[in-house]
Amino acid sequence: MRASHLPFLLSAALVLLPGSSAWACATCACGDPTLMSMGTEQPFAGRLRLSTTLRAWGQTVGNDRVDALRLREARLDVAAAFAPFPWLFLSATLPLQAREIREVSLSRERGWGVGDVELTAKAFLFKDREFSADHLFSVLVGVKLPTAPKLRAEDGALLGLDTQLGSGSVDPLAGLAYQHFRGEWSFLVSATGFLPTRGILGYRAGASVRTTAAAQYQPSAKWAVRMGLDGRLERASDIDGEEEANGGGFIAYASPDVLFSPSTDVVVGAGVRVPFFNRLRGRVAPTPIAMMSVAYDL
């Protein structure tokens, strides 16, 4: 499969979003008009939300003149979240990815296809009011499954680890989140831990904790601006017990977003994640992450 097919793949996934008007206003049904991105919604029984999120990012690992490895990736996450009860959200995310690896010798490997599916359950343990809550406290549990196929060259040999779209491992995750809503403002603080297992070619990603602190200002029902700080603290990855020289440590991103609602039950978002504090071990130089998303409530 060729990376040049990615634009068609991404366009097809975006077309999967429903185009007709919703039967009822989801924000009215939950009594809260706050524009929220996928994963930060207020719950109510029967809520179904579909979304796509497109990310473009990259990083360079190693010494530029000796052993540098440059990675570039475009990723489209297609997600669905359903609330069977007022206190529970169940979600599934399917990533579609295209990746290119270029070595300092200018040799390349490319691959595209389906990545590892992530399943999560988010339970709201506390909210101060049944509808339009001012305070929400939730816990998250989930797992990433090894659904990505192993990519091979024309001669049948496995492509390199960095070209593979999945880890080949079953990785559990768990987290906590607190949300506060106050007039035109809303706030989010969350932390999620990941505990990867060993997967393809003896590879095991390092255990990590990812954090978010964000504030959102919404002066009208149509649009909002959001500013966040995202952090990732992680152990170094290893292959058969031998730690990689590059990676592991801490990195922080400044994360501005703009959210816009062109019609009832549709939220469009655009933003960027800019690395401003990099204390990853060795030589790891990440690029900013460009993001666009569309969410639709049924």
Q: What is the pLDDT of residues 195-253, one digit of tens each?
A: 999 999 899 999 999 999 999 999 988 999 999 999 999 999 999 989 988 889 999 99
SS3 at position 29: helix
Per-residue pLDDT, 241:
87
Q: What percent of the chain has a predicted confidence (pLDDT) above 70?
A: 83
Please tell me the predicted confidence (pLDDT) of residue 68: 83
For 249, residues 6+ apart whose C-beta sits below 8 A from its C-beta are: 233, 234, 236, 279, 280, 281
CA distances (Å), 73 to each of 110, 229, 295, in order? 10, 22, 22
Q: Who wins on pLDDT, 23 or 208?
A: 208
pLDDT of residue 132: 67
Is residue 41 over pLDDT 80?
Answer: no
Classified as helix, coil or strand, 105 is coil
Contact 269/37 with Cβ under 8 angstroms? yes
d(CA 210, CA 206) in angstroms, rounded, equals: 12
Task: Please check whether residue 269 is in contact with residue 261, taking contact to mean a CB–CB distance below 8 angstroms.
Answer: no
Give 33 or 204, the one with higher predicted confidence: 204
pLDDT digits (tens, 9 = 90+) for 113-167: 999 999 999 999 988 776 667 888 999 999 999 999 999 888 888 888 888 999 9
* Beta bridge partners of residue 172, listed in sequence order: 143
| pTM attached to this predicted model | 0.83
Question: How big is the chain by its Cα radius of gyration, in Å?
Answer: 20
Confidence of residue 103 (pLDDT cuts 50, 70, 90): confident
What share of the chain has pLDDT > 90, as a percent? 60
Lowest mean pLDDT among 2-11, 69-78, 131-140, 279-288: 2-11
- Rounded distance, CA 58 to CA 56, Å? 7
pLDDT score, position 72: 94
Q: Residues near 260 by Cβ (< 8 Å), separated by ≥ 6?
A: 35, 222, 223, 267, 268, 269
- Are 129 and 179 in contact by the 8 Å Cβ rule? The answer is no
**Residue 99 carries which side chain, given as an amino acid letter?**
R
Tokens found for residue 252: 């922080």
CA distances from 60 to 63, 70, 175 (A): 9, 4, 29
Largest CA distance in the chain: 61
pLDDT for 159 equals 87
Instruction: State the average pLDDT over residues 262-271.
Output: 91
